[in-house]
Every structure is written in C-alpha cells, then in structure tokens.
Amino acid sequence: MSLKIIYFVHGTTTDNEAGKCTGWAGGELSELGTRQAKELRSRVEDLNFSVMFCSDLKRAVDSANLGFSDYPIIKDKRLRECNYGDLTQADEARVDYLKQIDKPFPNGESMKDVERRIKDFLDYLRKEYDGQFIAIMAHKAPQLALEAILNSKTWEEAINEDWRNRKAWQPGWIYEAK
C-alpha cells in the first residue's frame, strides 16, 4: 500500500499581509494570493494527480478553484488549519505552535489535535485512494502534521525546520504515505 501526495498551501491572504493568524476563520485571498493561486497550476503542469482535496476554509477553496478547476476538488474539514480558538485572527506573535503542541489554544486545538485529524484523513486516503497520486490544498498546521506523521519528525523539529521560517516556499511538497 502506497500513496503519493503533493501538498500545496493556499495563496497569501489579507490576514497574512496584516500579520494575523486566520485559524478557522474563512480568510480572503489578497491580490497577491489570487495571483499565486492562478499561477501555481502552470508551475506544476507536468504533474498529473487523480484528485485534489482541500480544506473547507474559504482561502483554501478559493486557491484550489483558481488554480486547479480542471481537477475534481473535494472539500474536507479535516484539512482545516489549527483552531486558534480565542486567538483566531490574533497577531502572529501571539500564536506560538511550540507552546501548543500538547496544550490547546484557549477554546481551540493543540497541534496533537491537528495530528489526529490528519492521521484520520490519511487512513481514509490509504483505504480509498491506494496507489494513486493525490493533491492537497491546505494550511500550515496540517502540513506540519504530515511532517510529523510521514517524515517521522517530532513536532518541535517540524515547527523549527518549517520552510516558512526560511521563506523557502516552493510549488508543492511531495509526501509518500505507506
């Protein structure tokens, strides 16, 4: 049993540009984010996946629809960003993943909660899409959960080694789910 995944992050949002963490709020793509979403498809046009799954949050759905309308797009709430609870749309400096690995954000989730959601999603993919190449359009916390689950990183490693810390964006990350 094996599954190949390409993971995309949604385009830049107005919250991103304002230094805010959107969490479970829908979020609006900024002008830059709209352009990023439209251009992404051409950057990976040589890849052919079966289906795209995306978070059901507006910024991910919009990014998927703008860039990949030629693919079936399936919304799945398990791919949502971490629920920051009381810190939804708070300044980025107040949202510290390292402090919330085991402890939920006030009235929200922990990183381990996100990991449980992503494990459940991966179990579903292995059962229903075994042997296929699928795409995901989602957020930061679900990608970090994939790093922990599929690349055997601790949460501390996943957070500290995250590409966002180095501003090392790329047009998709490949994961193997065995």
Residue 175 bridge partners (DSSP):
5
pLDDT by residue for the chain (178 residues), tens only, comes to: 689 999 999 999 999 999 999 999 999 999 999 999 999 989 998 899 999 999 999 999 999 999 999 999 999 999 999 999 999 999 999 999 999 999 999 999 999 999 999 999 999 999 999 999 999 999 999 999 999 999 999 999 999 999 999 989 889 999 998 8
Residue range 37-80, pLDDT digits in tens: 999 989 998 899 999 999 999 999 999 999 999 999 999 999 99
Q: Which amino acid is at 66?
A: L
Closest C-alpha to 111, from 120, 121, 101, 122: 101
Question: How deeply is 142 buried, as exposed, middle or buried, from its count of CB atoms within 10 A (0-12, 13-18, 19+)?
Answer: buried
Ordered domains of the chain (ranges, CATH)? 3-177 (3.40.50.1240)
- DSSP-H helix ranges across the chain: 14-17, 31-43, 58-68, 111-128, 140-150, 155-160, 163-166
131: region left, alpha or beta (phi > 0 left; psi from -120 to 50 alpha) = left
Residue 9 bridge partners (DSSP):
138
pTM to 2 decimals?
A: 0.96
Question: How deeply is 137 buried, as exposed, middle or buried, from its count of CB atoms within 10 A (0-12, 13-18, 19+)?
Answer: buried
Residue 174 bridge partners (DSSP):
6
